[in-house]
Structure 1
Amino acid sequence: MNGVFDLGGRQGFGQVVVPDEEPKFHDEWEREIFGVIMMYFMSGLCPLDQFRHAIEKMEPTEYLSTPYYVHWLRAAETVGIENGIFTAEELEERVRVLAENGAQ
C-alpha cells in the first residue's frame, strides 16, 4: 500500500539536506515523546507494527507539514486510545489543563 508516508523516489519534494551536526532532538518535548514511545515498546503496550501503522493513519496534510517527532506524538495518542491506556476524553482534558497552565 502506497501512502503519503512512502515518499522514497518521488519527485517534487526537494533535496533532503542533512546538516553535518544534526542534533538527535531539537527540543526537550522531542526527547520526552521518544521516551514515551520507548516505554510503550518496552512494557508491551504497543508493538512496533502498530506504532508504524498509527503514523501511517495520519492525515496526509498533517504528515507532510509536521516535524518527525509530531508523527511519534500522534502515534502515541492513537495507540494510547486504541489500546485503552487512556480515552480520547481523558487526553482532551489533559491537553486543556496543560494549555490553561501555560504548558507548551
Structure 2
Amino acid sequence: MARINDVGGMQGFGALDTSDDTEPFHADWEARVFALNSALVREGVYNLDEFRDAVETMEPSAYLAASYYERWFHAIRTLLDRKGVVAMAELDD
C-alpha cells in the first residue's frame, strides 16, 4: 500500500519552486530540529530507517499540510514516545 509521501506519477500538486535558495534553514527552529535529529541518530536513540518510517506514517492531511522540518519534528516526537524516552503527554506540556 502506498503512503502519502509516495507521490511518484501523481499530478495536481501545483508548480514546483525551482529557485535556488542559498540558506539551508528558513528559521532558527529548523536548524534546531536538524541538530536534534542528528544527535539522536548519532546517540543510537533511533536510526534513519525508523526516522523515515515515522515521517511516512503521518496522517495524510497532516503530512500534506506540514513543512519539511515540521515533518521531521513530528517524527522526532513520535520516536521519542515510541522508544519510551519521553512520553507524548510530556512533550505536549
Cα distance in 2, alignment partners of residues 38 and 31 from structure 1: 11
Deviation at 1:7, TM superposition (A): 1.4
For the residues of structure 2 that align with 1:52 and 1:59, how far apart are their CA atoms? 14
Deviation at 1:56, TM superposition (A): 1.1
Answering whether residue 43 of structure 2 is matched by residue 43 of structure 1, we say yes
Counterpart check, 1:57 vs 2:57: yes
Which amino acid in 2 is paired with 1:61? S
Q: Aligned ranges for residues 65-76 of structure 1 at < 5 Å?
A: 65-76=65-76
Deviation, structure 1 residue 63: 0.6
- Contact in 1 for aligned 2:41/2:48 (Cα 8 Å): yes
Determine the structure 2 residue equivalent to 1:18.
18
Aligned length: 93
Q: Give a deviation string over 1:5-29, Cα, whole Å, max 9, x none.
A: 0112211112221222342100000
Q: Which runs of 5+ in 2 are unaligned?
A: none
Q: TM-score scaled by structure 1?
A: 0.83
Instruction: Mark the runs of 5 or more structure 1 residues left unpaired by the alignment.
Output: 94-104
Cα RMSD (Å): 1.1
Where in structure 1 do 4 or more consecutive aligned residues deviate above 4 Å? none
Contact 2:3–2:57 (Cα < 8 Å) also in 1: no
Asked if 1:33 is matched to 2:33, the reply is: yes
Conserved in 1, the CA contact under 8 Å of 2:41 and 2:47? yes
Aligned residues with identical type, % of pairs? 37
